Amino acid sequence: MTTPTLTPKKSAQQLLTKLAASEGFTAVVALLEHFATDSVVPGICTTCEGVESSCEPDAEANMCSECETETVQSCLVLAGVI
Ligand SMILES: [Zn+2]
């Protein structure tokens, strides 16, 4: 178990905005509405901001393929929908 370098985490809103843009949505609400009922949703790493295109809707600690820490959260978790 390694402790990642402590850096101030970006707010969920900032991460959601970045995620929405990377998925082609102009607004976070559009992203959430689109994926609200899907079984696979995009997520974003809260450590390195790497985007993961396929997460479980309730993913809170998925493995990030970029920084290899378990800090990927789905867009629905970030938004507090789940
Ligand atoms: Zn990462």
Residues sharing a CB contact under 8 Å with residue 28, sequence separation 6 or more, in sequence order: 13, 16, 17, 20, 79
CA of 40 to the centre of ligand 1 (A): 19
pLDDT tens per residue, the chain (82 residues)?
555 565 666 799 999 999 999 999 999 999 999 999 999 999 999 999 999 999 999 999 999 999 999 999 999 999 998 8
Residues sharing a CB contact under 8 Å with residue 56, sequence separation 6 or more, in sequence order: 39, 40, 41, 62, 74
Strands in 51-55's sheet, in edge-to-edge order, are: 51-55, 41-45, 72-74
Q: What pLDDT does residue 82 have?
A: 81
CB 74 within 8 A of CB 43: yes
* Residues whose Cβ atom is located within 5 A of ion ligand 1: 45, 47-48, 50, 64, 66-67
Q: What pLDDT does residue 1 have?
A: 59
CA of 34 to the centre of ligand 1 (A): 24
Q: What pLDDT does residue 7 have?
A: 60
